[in-house]
Amino acid sequence: KSANKQPGLYCPFSSCDVWSFPLSGFTVAEIEPMGIFQFALNSRSVSVEENVQAVTLHVQRLFGFQSNLTKLTYQTIPGSAKPLEDFIPIYNGELLFLRFQTNAVIEISIIDDTVSEMEEFFFVNLTSVEVLDVQPVSPDWSPRLNPAFSVATVNILTNDILHGILSLGPEFVYVEEDANNGTPNTAILHIRRTKGFTGDIEVTSGRDLYPFGNVSIKIFDDDEPEGQELFYVFLSDPEGGAQIVEGKDEYGFSSFATVIIAALAHTNVYILLKLKVISRSYNDMKIIPCLQVPEFETHFFVELYAVSTGAALNNSARFAFITVLESDAPRGLVYFSVGSRFAVAHKKTTLISLQVLRDSSTSITTVVTYSMQVTLLLLFLLFNLIFNIKS
Protein backbone atom coordinates (compact mmCIF):
# COMPACT_ATOMS: atom_id res chain seq x y z
CA LYS A 1 0.00 0.00 0.00
CA SER A 2 1.03 3.61 -0.35
CA ALA A 3 3.40 5.00 2.19
CA ASN A 4 1.11 7.90 3.13
CA LYS A 5 -1.56 5.61 4.57
CA GLN A 6 -2.49 6.43 8.14
CA PRO A 7 -2.15 3.77 10.85
CA GLY A 8 -5.23 1.67 11.39
CA LEU A 9 -6.79 -1.78 10.75
CA TYR A 10 -6.33 -3.04 7.18
CA CYS A 11 -8.53 -5.79 5.65
CA PRO A 12 -6.14 -8.17 3.83
CA PHE A 13 -9.01 -10.10 2.07
CA SER A 14 -10.45 -7.07 0.24
CA SER A 15 -9.60 -6.29 -3.39
CA CYS A 16 -9.57 -2.55 -2.72
CA ASP A 17 -7.84 -0.29 -0.23
CA VAL A 18 -10.10 -0.51 2.78
CA TRP A 19 -8.99 0.77 6.13
CA SER A 20 -10.97 0.91 9.33
CA PHE A 21 -10.19 2.67 12.50
CA PRO A 22 -11.36 1.51 15.94
CA LEU A 23 -13.51 4.02 17.73
CA SER A 24 -12.29 5.37 20.98
CA GLY A 25 -13.61 3.42 23.98
CA PHE A 26 -14.49 0.21 22.01
CA THR A 27 -12.75 -3.18 22.09
CA VAL A 28 -12.22 -5.22 18.88
CA ALA A 29 -13.29 -8.87 19.34
CA GLU A 30 -13.50 -11.94 17.00
CA ILE A 31 -16.68 -14.04 16.74
CA GLU A 32 -15.97 -17.76 17.35
CA PRO A 33 -12.23 -17.48 16.56
CA MET A 34 -11.76 -21.28 16.55
CA GLY A 35 -14.84 -22.03 14.47
CA ILE A 36 -18.16 -23.86 14.81
CA PHE A 37 -18.51 -27.35 13.28
CA GLN A 38 -21.69 -28.96 11.93
CA PHE A 39 -23.03 -31.20 9.15
CA ALA A 40 -23.59 -29.39 5.86
CA LEU A 41 -27.16 -28.84 4.73
CA ASN A 42 -27.06 -31.64 2.11
CA SER A 43 -25.67 -34.15 4.63
CA ARG A 44 -28.10 -33.85 7.54
CA SER A 45 -30.50 -36.43 6.05
CA VAL A 46 -29.24 -38.66 3.23
CA SER A 47 -31.00 -41.51 1.40
CA VAL A 48 -28.98 -44.09 -0.53
CA GLU A 49 -29.53 -47.41 -2.29
CA GLU A 50 -28.12 -50.47 -0.58
CA ASN A 51 -25.79 -51.19 -3.50
CA VAL A 52 -23.98 -47.80 -3.44
CA GLN A 53 -21.24 -49.36 -1.21
CA ALA A 54 -20.55 -46.10 0.66
CA VAL A 55 -22.30 -42.91 1.74
CA THR A 56 -20.49 -39.55 1.91
CA LEU A 57 -21.28 -36.89 4.55
CA HIS A 58 -19.85 -33.34 4.54
CA VAL A 59 -18.84 -31.53 7.74
CA GLN A 60 -18.37 -27.74 7.54
CA ARG A 61 -16.50 -25.16 9.63
CA LEU A 62 -18.01 -21.72 10.18
CA PHE A 63 -16.54 -18.39 11.38
CA GLY A 64 -13.00 -18.36 12.86
CA PHE A 65 -9.79 -20.02 11.62
CA GLN A 66 -7.33 -19.17 14.39
CA SER A 67 -6.32 -22.77 14.98
CA ASN A 68 -3.66 -24.33 12.76
CA LEU A 69 -4.98 -27.85 13.41
CA THR A 70 -8.34 -28.97 14.80
CA LYS A 71 -9.53 -32.54 15.46
CA LEU A 72 -13.19 -33.56 15.29
CA THR A 73 -14.44 -36.99 16.42
CA TYR A 74 -17.59 -38.84 15.34
CA GLN A 75 -19.34 -42.22 15.67
CA THR A 76 -22.20 -44.20 14.10
CA ILE A 77 -25.35 -45.01 16.09
CA PRO A 78 -27.63 -47.90 15.03
CA GLY A 79 -31.28 -47.31 14.17
CA SER A 80 -33.32 -49.95 12.36
CA ALA A 81 -30.17 -50.69 10.31
CA LYS A 82 -27.85 -53.09 12.10
CA PRO A 83 -24.06 -52.73 12.40
CA LEU A 84 -22.06 -55.34 10.44
CA GLU A 85 -25.26 -56.42 8.68
CA ASP A 86 -26.32 -53.21 6.96
CA PHE A 87 -23.32 -50.88 7.46
CA ILE A 88 -19.76 -50.87 8.82
CA PRO A 89 -19.86 -49.19 12.25
CA ILE A 90 -17.41 -46.46 13.30
CA TYR A 91 -16.96 -46.02 17.04
CA ASN A 92 -14.28 -43.33 17.27
CA GLY A 93 -13.73 -41.74 13.87
CA GLU A 94 -11.54 -38.63 13.46
CA LEU A 95 -11.49 -35.65 11.07
CA LEU A 96 -8.65 -33.11 10.91
CA PHE A 97 -9.17 -29.48 9.84
CA LEU A 98 -6.14 -27.41 8.84
CA ARG A 99 -5.98 -23.63 9.08
CA PHE A 100 -8.55 -22.02 6.74
CA GLN A 101 -10.04 -25.42 5.84
CA THR A 102 -13.85 -25.18 5.75
CA ASN A 103 -14.97 -28.64 4.71
CA ALA A 104 -14.15 -32.33 5.42
CA VAL A 105 -15.72 -35.64 4.39
CA ILE A 106 -16.92 -38.68 6.36
CA GLU A 107 -17.44 -41.97 4.46
CA ILE A 108 -19.52 -44.84 5.85
CA SER A 109 -19.49 -48.26 4.10
CA ILE A 110 -22.89 -49.77 3.25
CA ILE A 111 -23.26 -53.58 3.14
CA ASP A 112 -25.17 -54.93 0.14
CA ASP A 113 -26.84 -58.26 0.94
CA THR A 114 -29.46 -60.44 -0.74
CA VAL A 115 -31.85 -60.43 2.21
CA SER A 116 -35.26 -58.89 1.50
CA GLU A 117 -35.57 -55.89 3.84
CA MET A 118 -37.67 -52.79 4.29
CA GLU A 119 -36.16 -49.28 4.35
CA GLU A 120 -33.68 -48.88 7.24
CA PHE A 121 -31.70 -46.05 8.83
CA PHE A 122 -28.83 -45.24 11.17
CA PHE A 123 -27.19 -42.08 12.56
CA VAL A 124 -23.76 -40.42 12.44
CA ASN A 125 -23.01 -38.24 15.48
CA LEU A 126 -20.32 -35.56 15.82
CA THR A 127 -19.09 -36.16 19.37
CA SER A 128 -16.27 -33.73 20.14
CA VAL A 129 -13.86 -31.12 18.74
CA GLU A 130 -10.48 -29.92 20.09
CA VAL A 131 -7.49 -27.79 19.08
CA LEU A 132 -4.19 -29.59 18.43
CA ASP A 133 -1.98 -26.50 18.02
CA VAL A 134 1.51 -26.66 19.52
CA GLN A 135 1.46 -22.97 20.31
CA PRO A 136 -0.71 -22.06 23.29
CA VAL A 137 -3.92 -20.20 22.61
CA SER A 138 -6.21 -18.21 24.79
CA PRO A 139 -8.11 -20.45 27.25
CA ASP A 140 -11.25 -18.49 26.39
CA TRP A 141 -10.94 -19.57 22.76
CA SER A 142 -12.20 -23.06 21.91
CA PRO A 143 -13.97 -24.67 18.90
CA ARG A 144 -17.55 -25.76 19.32
CA LEU A 145 -20.09 -28.17 17.83
CA ASN A 146 -23.44 -26.86 16.68
CA PRO A 147 -25.80 -29.14 18.64
CA ALA A 148 -28.68 -28.47 16.21
CA PHE A 149 -26.80 -30.04 13.29
CA SER A 150 -24.34 -32.45 14.90
CA VAL A 151 -26.34 -35.60 13.98
CA ALA A 152 -26.92 -36.88 10.44
CA THR A 153 -29.49 -39.52 9.44
CA VAL A 154 -28.65 -42.07 6.74
CA ASN A 155 -31.60 -43.90 5.15
CA ILE A 156 -30.89 -47.14 3.29
CA LEU A 157 -33.59 -47.53 0.66
CA THR A 158 -35.10 -50.85 -0.31
CA ASN A 159 -33.49 -52.34 -3.41
CA ASP A 160 -34.07 -56.02 -2.58
CA ILE A 161 -37.16 -57.72 -3.99
CA LEU A 162 -39.44 -58.01 -1.00
CA HIS A 163 -42.39 -59.61 -2.73
CA GLY A 164 -40.45 -61.96 -4.95
CA ILE A 165 -39.77 -62.68 -8.61
CA LEU A 166 -42.54 -64.56 -10.41
CA SER A 167 -42.05 -67.08 -13.23
CA LEU A 168 -44.32 -69.45 -15.17
CA GLY A 169 -43.73 -72.99 -16.39
CA PRO A 170 -43.07 -75.53 -17.60
CA GLU A 171 -41.98 -74.08 -20.93
CA PHE A 172 -44.18 -76.47 -22.96
CA VAL A 173 -47.41 -78.15 -21.80
CA TYR A 174 -49.01 -80.84 -23.99
CA VAL A 175 -52.71 -81.62 -23.67
CA GLU A 176 -55.31 -83.60 -25.64
CA GLU A 177 -58.47 -81.93 -26.88
CA ASP A 178 -60.62 -85.06 -26.52
CA ALA A 179 -62.67 -84.91 -23.36
CA ASN A 180 -62.26 -87.70 -20.83
CA ASN A 181 -65.69 -89.16 -19.99
CA GLY A 182 -67.31 -85.82 -20.73
CA THR A 183 -64.92 -83.90 -18.48
CA PRO A 184 -62.83 -81.27 -20.34
CA ASN A 185 -59.09 -81.73 -20.21
CA THR A 186 -57.07 -79.02 -18.47
CA ALA A 187 -53.60 -77.59 -18.93
CA ILE A 188 -51.87 -77.11 -15.58
CA LEU A 189 -49.29 -74.32 -15.28
CA HIS A 190 -47.15 -73.59 -12.22
CA ILE A 191 -46.16 -70.14 -10.93
CA ARG A 192 -42.94 -69.97 -8.93
CA ARG A 193 -41.92 -67.24 -6.50
CA THR A 194 -38.26 -66.73 -5.61
CA LYS A 195 -36.01 -64.28 -3.70
CA GLY A 196 -38.79 -62.55 -1.75
CA PHE A 197 -41.79 -63.84 0.17
CA THR A 198 -43.30 -60.77 1.84
CA GLY A 199 -47.08 -60.58 1.49
CA ASP A 200 -49.62 -62.79 -0.26
CA ILE A 201 -50.02 -63.09 -4.04
CA GLU A 202 -53.21 -63.71 -6.02
CA VAL A 203 -53.40 -64.68 -9.69
CA THR A 204 -56.21 -63.38 -11.91
CA SER A 205 -57.12 -64.32 -15.49
CA GLY A 206 -59.99 -62.22 -16.79
CA ARG A 207 -62.62 -62.54 -14.07
CA ASP A 208 -61.19 -65.78 -12.66
CA LEU A 209 -59.20 -65.75 -9.43
CA TYR A 210 -56.68 -68.52 -8.73
CA PRO A 211 -54.79 -69.34 -5.57
CA PHE A 212 -51.07 -68.71 -5.94
CA GLY A 213 -49.14 -71.70 -7.24
CA ASN A 214 -51.15 -73.38 -10.01
CA VAL A 215 -53.29 -72.13 -12.89
CA SER A 216 -55.76 -74.49 -14.63
CA ILE A 217 -56.88 -73.77 -18.19
CA LYS A 218 -59.82 -75.74 -19.61
CA ILE A 219 -59.51 -77.13 -23.13
CA PHE A 220 -62.81 -77.22 -25.06
CA ASP A 221 -63.57 -80.32 -27.11
CA ASP A 222 -65.46 -79.63 -30.35
CA ASP A 223 -66.40 -81.71 -33.39
CA GLU A 224 -64.18 -79.82 -35.82
CA PRO A 225 -61.36 -81.85 -37.40
CA GLU A 226 -58.25 -79.89 -36.34
CA GLY A 227 -54.53 -80.24 -36.50
CA GLN A 228 -52.17 -79.44 -33.68
CA GLU A 229 -52.79 -76.02 -32.17
CA LEU A 230 -51.00 -73.91 -29.57
CA PHE A 231 -51.46 -70.77 -27.52
CA TYR A 232 -49.36 -68.79 -25.05
CA VAL A 233 -49.93 -67.81 -21.41
CA PHE A 234 -48.10 -64.70 -20.16
CA LEU A 235 -47.49 -63.22 -16.72
CA SER A 236 -48.22 -59.48 -16.78
CA ASP A 237 -49.01 -56.41 -14.69
CA PRO A 238 -47.64 -57.41 -11.26
CA GLU A 239 -48.81 -55.18 -8.42
CA GLY A 240 -47.65 -54.45 -4.89
CA GLY A 241 -43.90 -54.85 -5.49
CA ALA A 242 -43.65 -58.29 -7.09
CA GLN A 243 -41.62 -58.55 -10.29
CA ILE A 244 -41.68 -60.83 -13.35
CA VAL A 245 -38.54 -62.77 -14.16
CA GLU A 246 -36.35 -61.63 -17.04
CA GLY A 247 -35.22 -64.53 -19.20
CA LYS A 248 -35.33 -67.82 -17.26
CA ASP A 249 -34.92 -68.59 -13.57
CA GLU A 250 -32.94 -71.44 -12.05
CA TYR A 251 -35.85 -73.82 -12.70
CA GLY A 252 -36.08 -73.00 -16.41
CA PHE A 253 -39.32 -71.07 -15.90
CA SER A 254 -39.82 -67.75 -17.73
CA SER A 255 -42.46 -65.06 -18.13
CA PHE A 256 -44.64 -67.19 -20.43
CA ALA A 257 -45.50 -70.79 -21.28
CA THR A 258 -46.69 -72.54 -24.44
CA VAL A 259 -49.74 -74.83 -24.33
CA ILE A 260 -49.86 -77.30 -27.25
CA ILE A 261 -53.17 -79.01 -28.06
CA ALA A 262 -52.40 -82.29 -29.82
CA ALA A 263 -54.10 -83.08 -33.13
CA LEU A 264 -57.15 -85.35 -33.12
CA ALA A 265 -56.06 -88.93 -33.65
CA HIS A 266 -58.65 -89.74 -36.37
CA THR A 267 -58.01 -86.69 -38.54
CA ASN A 268 -54.28 -86.10 -38.43
CA VAL A 269 -51.01 -87.89 -37.93
CA TYR A 270 -48.55 -86.73 -35.27
CA ILE A 271 -45.02 -87.97 -35.99
CA LEU A 272 -42.00 -87.76 -33.67
CA LEU A 273 -38.67 -87.88 -35.46
CA LYS A 274 -35.13 -88.16 -34.25
CA LEU A 275 -32.37 -86.77 -36.49
CA LYS A 276 -28.80 -87.94 -36.51
CA VAL A 277 -26.06 -85.53 -37.58
CA ILE A 278 -23.25 -87.07 -39.64
CA SER A 279 -20.47 -84.83 -41.02
CA ARG A 280 -22.64 -81.73 -40.54
CA SER A 281 -25.37 -82.94 -42.91
CA TYR A 282 -28.78 -84.36 -42.09
CA ASN A 283 -29.98 -87.76 -43.21
CA ASP A 284 -32.83 -87.88 -45.67
CA MET A 285 -36.15 -88.80 -44.13
CA LYS A 286 -39.03 -90.48 -45.96
CA ILE A 287 -42.16 -89.44 -44.12
CA ILE A 288 -45.02 -90.13 -46.55
CA PRO A 289 -45.27 -93.60 -48.13
CA CYS A 290 -46.41 -93.78 -51.76
CA LEU A 291 -49.76 -95.62 -51.82
CA GLN A 292 -52.12 -96.06 -54.77
CA VAL A 293 -55.12 -95.20 -52.66
CA PRO A 294 -57.52 -92.32 -53.46
CA GLU A 295 -57.07 -89.66 -50.76
CA PHE A 296 -58.36 -86.16 -50.14
CA GLU A 297 -56.00 -83.35 -49.10
CA THR A 298 -54.82 -83.78 -45.48
CA HIS A 299 -52.37 -82.23 -43.03
CA PHE A 300 -50.08 -83.34 -40.22
CA PHE A 301 -47.15 -82.08 -38.15
CA VAL A 302 -43.57 -83.29 -37.80
CA GLU A 303 -41.74 -82.41 -34.59
CA LEU A 304 -38.01 -82.52 -33.90
CA TYR A 305 -38.08 -83.58 -30.26
CA ALA A 306 -34.55 -84.73 -29.40
CA VAL A 307 -30.96 -84.38 -30.60
CA SER A 308 -27.73 -86.01 -29.53
CA THR A 309 -25.29 -84.56 -26.99
CA GLY A 310 -23.79 -81.23 -28.01
CA ALA A 311 -26.61 -80.18 -30.33
CA ALA A 312 -29.59 -77.99 -29.48
CA LEU A 313 -33.13 -77.58 -30.78
CA ASN A 314 -34.48 -74.27 -32.04
CA ASN A 315 -37.82 -74.17 -30.25
CA SER A 316 -39.21 -71.57 -32.63
CA ALA A 317 -38.71 -73.91 -35.61
CA ARG A 318 -39.08 -77.42 -34.24
CA PHE A 319 -42.43 -78.10 -35.95
CA ALA A 320 -43.02 -78.66 -39.67
CA PHE A 321 -46.55 -78.43 -41.12
CA ILE A 322 -46.98 -81.01 -43.89
CA THR A 323 -49.76 -80.80 -46.52
CA VAL A 324 -50.54 -83.94 -48.52
CA LEU A 325 -52.36 -82.89 -51.67
CA GLU A 326 -55.32 -84.74 -53.09
CA SER A 327 -54.16 -87.85 -54.98
CA ASP A 328 -55.46 -90.79 -57.03
CA ALA A 329 -58.79 -89.08 -57.81
CA PRO A 330 -60.66 -89.48 -54.50
CA ARG A 331 -63.86 -88.19 -56.18
CA GLY A 332 -63.55 -90.76 -58.96
CA LEU A 333 -61.84 -90.94 -62.36
CA VAL A 334 -64.42 -90.48 -65.15
CA TYR A 335 -63.71 -91.48 -68.77
CA PHE A 336 -65.18 -92.99 -71.96
CA SER A 337 -64.80 -96.76 -72.31
CA VAL A 338 -62.43 -98.08 -74.95
CA GLY A 339 -65.27 -99.03 -77.31
CA SER A 340 -66.85 -95.58 -77.09
CA ARG A 341 -63.81 -93.49 -77.78
CA PHE A 342 -63.99 -94.10 -81.54
CA ALA A 343 -67.60 -95.18 -82.12
CA VAL A 344 -68.67 -96.03 -85.73
CA ALA A 345 -72.13 -95.11 -87.08
CA HIS A 346 -73.59 -96.39 -90.38
CA LYS A 347 -75.67 -94.31 -92.78
CA LYS A 348 -78.90 -95.71 -91.48
CA THR A 349 -77.95 -95.40 -87.79
CA THR A 350 -80.40 -93.15 -85.95
CA LEU A 351 -79.12 -93.61 -82.36
CA ILE A 352 -75.62 -94.11 -80.96
CA SER A 353 -74.77 -95.03 -77.35
CA LEU A 354 -71.52 -94.03 -75.62
CA GLN A 355 -70.39 -95.71 -72.38
CA VAL A 356 -68.96 -93.55 -69.49
CA LEU A 357 -67.00 -95.28 -66.72
CA ARG A 358 -65.80 -94.19 -63.24
CA ASP A 359 -62.83 -95.71 -61.37
CA SER A 360 -60.83 -95.14 -58.12
CA SER A 361 -63.64 -94.02 -55.82
CA THR A 362 -67.41 -94.29 -55.74
CA SER A 363 -67.87 -92.83 -52.24
CA ILE A 364 -69.65 -89.68 -53.40
CA THR A 365 -72.27 -88.85 -56.05
CA THR A 366 -70.75 -87.36 -59.20
CA VAL A 367 -72.60 -85.47 -61.95
CA VAL A 368 -71.06 -85.55 -65.44
CA THR A 369 -71.97 -82.96 -68.05
CA TYR A 370 -71.21 -83.29 -71.76
CA SER A 371 -71.61 -81.36 -75.00
CA MET A 372 -71.35 -82.05 -78.74
CA GLN A 373 -68.93 -80.43 -81.14
CA VAL A 374 -69.71 -80.17 -84.90
CA THR A 375 -66.89 -81.51 -87.09
CA LEU A 376 -66.45 -81.78 -90.89
CA LEU A 377 -67.31 -85.49 -90.75
CA LEU A 378 -70.59 -84.77 -88.98
CA LEU A 379 -71.48 -82.10 -91.52
CA PHE A 380 -70.77 -84.59 -94.31
CA LEU A 381 -73.04 -87.21 -92.73
CA LEU A 382 -75.85 -84.68 -92.25
CA PHE A 383 -75.52 -83.58 -95.86
CA ASN A 384 -75.78 -87.18 -97.10
CA LEU A 385 -78.77 -87.78 -94.83
CA ILE A 386 -80.66 -84.78 -96.19
CA PHE A 387 -79.76 -85.67 -99.79
CA ASN A 388 -81.06 -89.24 -99.34
CA ILE A 389 -84.33 -87.99 -97.86
CA LYS A 390 -84.96 -85.70 -100.84
CA SER A 391 -84.14 -88.45 -103.26
Domain containing 135: what range? 36-157
Same domain flag for 141 and 81: yes
Backbone torsions φ then ψ of 134, nearest 5 degrees: -75, -40
Number of folded domains that form the chain? 4
Same structural domain for residues 193 and 137? Answer: no
93 and 171: one domain?
no
Phi-psi label, residue 349: left if phi above 0, alpha if psi -120 to 50, beta otherwise: beta
* Residue 85, domain member (yes or no): yes
The answer on 275 and 256 residing in a single domain is no
In a domain, 26, yes or no: no
Which pLDDT value is given to residue 269?
A: 39
Identify residue 363 by its one-letter amino acid code. Answer: S
Q: Are residues 374 and 340 in the same domain?
A: yes
Does residue 125 contact residue 74 with C-beta atoms inside 8 Å? yes
Cα(293)–Cα(343) distance, integer angstroms: 32
185 and 294 both lie in a single domain: no
Question: What CATH number corresponds to the domain at position 53?
Answer: 2.60.40.2030
User: pLDDT per residue over 319-368, tens digit each?
Assistant: 888 888 877 777 778 888 887 888 887 878 888 888 888 877 676 788 88
Phi and psi based region of residue 147 (left: phi greater than 0; alpha: psi -120 to 50; beta: remaining): alpha
* Domain match, 148 and 74 both: yes
Residues 6+ apart with CB under 8 A from 158: 50, 117, 118, 119
Distance CA 295, CA 300 (A): 14
Question: Residue 317: what are its φ and ψ, rounded to 5°?
Answer: -140, 40
**279 falls within a domain:** yes
102 falls within a domain:
yes
What pLDDT is recorded for position 234?
A: 87
Torsion sign (Cα): 332, 333, 338, 341: positive
Q: What parts of the chain have a pLDDT lower than 50?
A: 1-19, 265-282
Query: Would 24 be classed as within a structural domain?
Result: no
Listed in order, strand segments (DSSP E) in 239-347 are: 243-244, 256-261, 270-273, 277-278, 281-282, 298-304, 319-324, 333-336
Looking at the fold, whether 76 and 94 belong to one and the same domain comes out as yes
What 3-state DSSP class applies to 36?
Answer: strand
Reported as a single tens digit per residue, the pLDDT across 15-54 is 344 445 556 777 666 778 888 999 999 999 999 988 788 9
pLDDT tens-digit series, residues 8-18 = 444 443 334 44
Q: In this structure, is residue 22 part of a structural domain?
A: no
Does residue 16 lie in a domain region?
A: no
Residue 92 lies in a domain: yes
pLDDT of residue 262: 81
Indicate if 175 and 256 belong to the same structural domain: yes
